[in-house]
Amino acid sequence: MTVALDALDALESESIHIFREVAGEFDRPVILFSGGKDSTLLVHLAVKAFAPAPVPFPLLHVDTGHNFDEVIDFRDTIVERLGLRLEVAKVQDYIDDGRLVERADGTRNPLQTQPLLDAIVENRFDAVFGGGRRDEERARAKERIMSLRDAFGRWDPRKQRPELWNLYNGRHAAGEHVRVFPISNWTELDVWRYIQREEIELPSIYYAHRREVYKRDGMWLAEGPWGGPRPTETVENLSVRYRTVGDGSCTGAVESTATTLDEIIAEVTASRLTERGATRADDRLSEAAMEDRKREGYF
């Protein structure tokens, strides 16, 4: 008698199937890789999909310039270890030569869209793997696993192709590309349980550590190249960790003493806030902040 696949095995098999479909049907795929937990999971799954051969795709990082050093070091270590090619598209370059202007609120996440789209065009990437999950946010819940983008990188949620069985339709015209989300059906807790099971290494800032932080809009922010506390904001030294890793200006830490994966999983299970709600100022801009950014071509 065959027993049902464990949930993590079922999700892993689905993700591997998606990676292999893209390898079989596209000419120039790329994996978006920031060094964050979701994109690290993506790369881990890609390695498993093609073992013992190497991953047949390069990596692309859209660098806001507002990075945590630990994450960039981790990114470079992984790239080196896997022997993969890493392209970096830098928001800072766009600001330096005037193609983009720094926003009043200092947040650079929305500024990533143009460098991303330019990198896709310049490298003629036809499939772009992202670590988006449908449980993250309401607009993402409507996203397909293979999602067409027009020549301007735009997403039209009302014109999505129906996605049936495990038959993916990746047809696209010249200049268009397809965004592919292999971990669409994973939840935050699945990601952590799998990281634990597979012993996947992550940047240290995902684990509790002491850091100087200040409170803004209900989030604990850290000082960095993106700025620091205003005169009215007081700095405290707290034990914190990051649940998501994005642009430093808008990614908050949560108070935590979780230094092991067991403790993190216990914390995520008990949490009463979603990871984006807790730590991402960019998603609080409006009720449809993510939908609006996605329509413009964001991840």
Chain residues binding other proteins by CB under 8 A are: 2-7, 9-14, 16-17, 20-21, 23-24, 47-54, 83, 134-135, 137-142, 148, 157-158, 160-167, 169, 171-173, 184-185, 187, 189-190, 271-274, 277-278, 287-288, 291
**Closest to other proteins by CB, 9 or 255:** 9
Minimum Å gap between C-beta 171 and other proteins is 3
The answer to whether 191 touches 156, Cβ cutoff 8 Å, is no
Minimum Å gap between C-beta 60 and other proteins is 20
3-class DSSP assignment, residue 211: strand
**Closest to other proteins by CB, 98 or 162:** 162
**Closest to other proteins by CB, 63 or 126:** 126
**Closest to other proteins by CB, 65 or 170:** 170
The answer to whether 155 touches 297, Cβ cutoff 8 Å, is yes
CA 158 → CA 28, 80, 129, 190, 263, distances in Å?
A: 27, 41, 22, 29, 41
Of 174, 144, 131, which Cα lies nearest the Cα of 37?
131
One-letter amino acid identity for 76?
D
**Closest to other proteins by CB, 230 or 272:** 272
Minimum Å gap between C-beta 237 and other proteins is 26
Distance CA 17, CA 54 (A): 16
Minimum Å gap between C-beta 138 and other proteins is 3
**Cβ-Cβ contacts under 8 Å for 248 (sequence gap 6 or more):** 64, 66, 67, 68, 222, 224, 225, 226
Of 294, 269, 273, 271, which Cα lies nearest the Cα of 282?
294
Parallel, antiparallel, or unpaired: how do β-strands 29-32 and 59-63 relate? parallel
**Closest to other proteins by CB, 13 or 77:** 13
Minimum Å gap between C-beta 257 and other proteins is 21
> Which sign, positive or negative, has the C-alpha torsion 191, 194, 196, 199?
negative
Minimum Å gap between C-beta 254 and other proteins is 13
Minimum Å gap between C-beta 287 and other proteins is 7
Of 263, 172, 261, 280, which Cα lies nearest the Cα of 218?
280
**Closest to other proteins by CB, 10 or 235:** 10
Sheet containing strand 59-63, edge to edge, reads: 86-90, 59-63, 29-32, 127-129, 177-180, 146-149
